[in-house]
């Protein structure tokens, strides 16, 4: 039995646009289940033709793309509130996998009903498109990072982005956040080798900007960190919840 949307723990968070009661009722009709999955399990698989879409209720994941030759690119980190699997609703198949990094709870929708969203509730369709457009924007920023920033700037940029995302979700304590990602994940996200990523993280630590150890990211000086990252800190917009 699927849990009541009106009790959705995410809807109460500041990070999200509040859904109206009528929207909540509508979503309830499309929610087909709530899945719990374990850390390490795949949610969506690159190349497959997934019949379901998900909203992350809790837990963290990684979007990753595998290339011939065993290399892996981490596309982005997935946080609660993210809507995943949209690609398979439009492209023939997923261009990347999504792998859980912690135990997760997912809200499940059938892809076959995607069209109903558009037809019968344009507000929700608009919000789905919001997610696609914002993700596109973010990937553009990531592209600029991999293409133009130095290793030090790249890693600093990632730390800022991850921390800020966690902050708006209330996942931080003071200036630290605990994360399930490994240095290899960071390395594969920034297009750097594991070794060099480790040395770069050390440099950030010695410069008293940020430290990463035992899965805890601590930000000592986010302003200076953003400078190193050659980026500006601006506050996160509220996100619509699917």
Partner DNA sequence: CGCTGCATTGATGAGTGTCAAAATTGGTGG
Partner DNA sequence: CCACCAATTTTGACACTCATCAATGCAGCG
What are 50's two structure tokens? 């997934």
Q: Which does 20 bind (CB under 5 to 8 A by kind): DNA, a second copy, none?
A: none
CB of 218 to DNA, least distance (A): 12
Give the residue with the Cβ less far from DNA, 196 or 238: 196
What are 203's two structure tokens? 């440099």
8/13 Cα distance (integer angstroms): 10
Give the residue with the Cβ less far from DNA, 8 or 219: 219
Q: Which does 182 bind (CB under 5 to 8 A by kind): a second copy, DNA, none?
A: DNA
Q: What is the dihedral of CA 223, 197, 76, 61, to 10 degrees?
A: -110
Give the residue with the Cβ less far from a second copy, 42 or 103: 42
Give the residue with the Cβ less far from a second copy, 139 or 195: 139
Q: Which of 38, 166, 45 is nearest to 102 (CA)?
A: 38
Q: Which does 151 bind (CB under 5 to 8 A by kind): a second copy, DNA, none?
A: DNA
Say if residues 207 and 214 touch (Cβ distance below 8 Å).
no
Q: Which does 215 bind (CB under 5 to 8 A by kind): DNA, a second copy, none?
A: DNA
Counting other chains too, the contacts that 44-47 makes at CB distance below 8 Å and 24 or more residues apart are: 44/84, 44/85, 44/88, 44/94, 44/96, 44/97, 44/98, 45/94, 45/97, 46/93, 46/94, 46/95, 46/96, 46/97, 47/93, 47/94
Give the residue with the Cβ less far from a second copy, 143 or 216: 143
What is the binding site for a second copy (CB under 8 A)? 63, 65, 67-69, 71-73, 75, 86-87, 89-92, 95-96, 115, 118-119, 122-123, 125-126, 128-130, 132-137, 139-144, 146-149, 188-191, 230-231, 237
What are 185's two structure tokens? 């994940």
Give the residue with the Cβ less far from DNA, 10 or 192: 192
Coil/strand/helix, residue 162: helix
CB of 188 to DNA, least distance (A): 10
Q: Which does 214 bind (CB under 5 to 8 A by kind): a second copy, DNA, none?
A: DNA
Q: How many residues can be counted in the chain?
A: 242
Q: Which does 128 bind (CB under 5 to 8 A by kind): DNA, a second copy, none?
A: a second copy
What is the binding site for DNA (CB under 7 A)? 150-152, 182-184, 191-199, 201-202, 212-215
């Amino acid at each position: 039995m699927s849990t009541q949307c009106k009790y959705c723990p995410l809807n109460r968070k500041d990070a999200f646009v509040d859904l109206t009661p009528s929207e909540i009722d509508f979503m309830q009709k499309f929610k087909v289940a709530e899945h719990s999955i374990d850390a390490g399990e795949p949610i969506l698989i690159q190349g497959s033709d997934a019949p379901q879409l998900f909203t992350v209720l809790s837990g963290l994941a990684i979007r990753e793309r595998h290339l011939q030759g065993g290399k892996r690119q981490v596309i982005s980190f997935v946080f609660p509130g993210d809507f995943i699997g949209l690609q398979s609703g439009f492209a023939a198949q997923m261009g990347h996998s999504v792998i859980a990094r912690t135990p997760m709870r997912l809200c499940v929708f059938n892809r076959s009903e995607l069209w109903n969203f558009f037809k019968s509730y344009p507000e929700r369709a608009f919000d789905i498109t919001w997610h696609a457009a914002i993700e596109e924007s973010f990937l553009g920023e990531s592209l600029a990072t991999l293409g133009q920033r130095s290793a030090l700037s790249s890693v600093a940029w990632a730390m800022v982005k991850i921390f800020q995302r966690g902050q708006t979700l209330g996942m931080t304590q003071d200036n630290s956040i605990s994360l399930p990602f490994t240095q290899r994940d960071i390395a594969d996200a920034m297009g750097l080798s594991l070794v060099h990523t480790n040395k770069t993280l050390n440099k950030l630590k010695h410069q008293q900007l940020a430290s990463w150890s035992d899965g805890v990211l601590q930000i000592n000086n986010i302003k200076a960190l953003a400078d190193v990252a050659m980026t500006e800190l601006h506050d996160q917009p509220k996100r619509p919840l699917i």
